[in-house]
């Protein structure tokens, strides 16, 4: 079908389906083949199960519980190309481009007490391939029809990871699971037999470093060669080991040589995040280089580091024995013109 200007138009419809339920094995990992046929908009993960505290009360429930049961999510194409590698907290409480962090959205249902009892828990995470906050969300849908292999790999934690355990004994009650389900777009051919094609590939990766001592210029290299949309910082451990903390970051910079895209105090990054996205979990900081409040982003605003010096983030941090920093980067690879 062609429009009034003679341009071929394409139609599509959306398919939402459950793929599998993956049993969580303490300290292990799970691997699940994903269907290969259509264009993936998103992969959803619903962590659910029960946990029993016995012998003595735990000290406290961790603020991000129960996302610690899946410390890493990976999505891999053809056995070698990692499209997504990040902790569950980023897919859940850190999903600032969706409504999950919003009050009442129920991204997580943690234990309501650290005391001796059995608790049902749940967490919802989303791996977005589409540009969910963009003007044309399907630009980065991931086409799977030509793949030989498409898989999700989950790394599992231990039952007690969702508590500051203290003297308690914590065990799974039954077998907790992660339900995997997808949203896929089925593209239909136009009148000339052609298909609409995604113009970009979205990629998410993360790094973690320990910060034993304070440093006013801690530098971490970022992925080079593509176009960066955002850098997401998380700090933990200054007050309680493993717990996100607002006292670590004093300032953060995003730069590539003399090209400086962000230079703000940690508190000001949080203030801008509150203005742009609403309140995020304490210890989370978002440097989204395309964000303009509630307006839809444009891929033309991506930070192009394809021909620049090494991009990096330079951080002024307060260190400590248990302080760790995680940095999650979202980047795009644009299709080249024929």
For a pLDDT cut of 70, what percent of the chain falls above it? 97
Task: Indicate the pLDDT class of residue 330, thresholds 50, 70 and 90.
Answer: very high
**Contacts (Cβ under 8 Å, ≥6 apart) of 99:** 105
User: Residue 1 above 70 pLDDT?
Assistant: no
For 103-158, write each residue's pLDDT tens digit.
778 899 999 999 999 999 999 999 999 999 998 899 999 999 999 999 999 999 99
Q: Among 240, 258, 222, 252, which residue's Cα sits nearest to residue 324?
A: 240
pLDDT at residue 4 is higher than 60: no
User: pLDDT of 200-249, one tens digit each?
Assistant: 999 999 999 999 999 999 999 999 999 999 999 999 999 999 999 999 99
Residue 7's pLDDT is: 67
Residue 8 near residue 1, CB atoms below 8 Å: yes
Residue 254's CB is within 10 A of a number of other CB atoms, namely: 21
Of all residues in the chain, what percent carry a pLDDT higher than 90? 84
Residue 338 — very low, low, confident or very high, per pLDDT cuts 50/70/90? Answer: very low
pLDDT of residue 165: 97
Which residues, at least 6 apart from 295, have a Cβ–Cβ distance to it below 8 Å? Answer: none
Q: Residue 194, Cα to own-chain centre: how many angstroms? A: 33
Torsions phi, psi for 32 (to 5 deg): -130, 125
Taking all residues of the chain, what is their mean pLDDT, rounded to a whole number? Answer: 94
Report the pLDDT averaged over residues 59-85.
97
The CA distance from 116 to 286, in Å, is 37
The CA-CA-CA angle for residues 148, 151, 152, to 5°, reads 170
pLDDT surpasses 70 at 30: yes
Answer with the residue of higher pLDDT: 191 or 135.
135
Taking the chain, what is the end-to-end CA distance rounded to the nearest angstrom? 24
pLDDT of residue 317: 98
Query: How deeply is 229 buried, as exposed, middle or buried, from its count of CB atoms within 10 A (0-12, 13-18, 19+)?
Result: buried
List of domains in the chain: 1-198 (2.70.9.30), 203-338 (2.60.120.20)
> Averaged over 17-35, what is the pLDDT?
98
pLDDT of residue 38: 96
């Amino acid at each position: 079908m062609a429009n009034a200007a003679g341009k071929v138009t394409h139609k599509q419809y959306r398919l939402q389906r459950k793929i599998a339920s993956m049993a969580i094995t303490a300290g292990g990992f799970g691997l699940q083949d994903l269907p290969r046929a259509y264009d993936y908009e998103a992969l959803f993960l619903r962590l659910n199960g029960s946990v029993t505290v016995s012998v003595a009360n735990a000290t406290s429930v961790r603020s991000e519980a129960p996302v610690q049961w899946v410390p890493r999510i990976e999505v891999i194409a053809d056995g070698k190309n990692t499209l997504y590698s990040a902790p569950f907290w980023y897919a859940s409480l850190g999903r600032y481009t969706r409504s999950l962090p919003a009050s009442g959205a129920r991204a997580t249902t943690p234990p309501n007490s650290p005391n001796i009892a059995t608790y049902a828990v749940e967490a919802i995470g989303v791996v977005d391939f589409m540009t969910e906050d963009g003007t044309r969300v399907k630009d980065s849908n991931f086409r799977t029809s030509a793949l030989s292999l498409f898989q999700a790999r989950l790394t599992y934690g231990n039952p007690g990871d969702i508590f500051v355990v203290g003297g308690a004994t914590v065990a799974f009650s039954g077998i907790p699971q992660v339900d995997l389900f997808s949203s896929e777009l089925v593209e239909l051919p136009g009148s000339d037999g052609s298909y609409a094609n995604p113009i970009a590939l979205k990629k998410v990766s993360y790094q973690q470093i320990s910060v034993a001592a304070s440093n006013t210029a801690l530098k971490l290299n970022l992925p080079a060669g593509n176009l960066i949309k955002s850098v997401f910082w998380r700090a933990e451990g200054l007050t309680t080991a493993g717990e996100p903390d607002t006292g670590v970051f004093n300032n953060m910079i995003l730069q590539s040589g003399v090209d400086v895209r962000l230079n703000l105090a940690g508190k000001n990054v949080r203030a801008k995040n509150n203005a742009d996205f609403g309140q995020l979990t304490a210890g989370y900081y978002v440097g989204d280089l395309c964000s303009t409040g509630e307006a839809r982003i444009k891929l033309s605003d991506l930070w192009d580091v394809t021909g620049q010096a090494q991009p990096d983030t330079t951080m002024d941090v307060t260190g400590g024995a248990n302080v760790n920093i995680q940095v999650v980067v979202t980047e795009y690879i644009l299709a080249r013109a024929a």
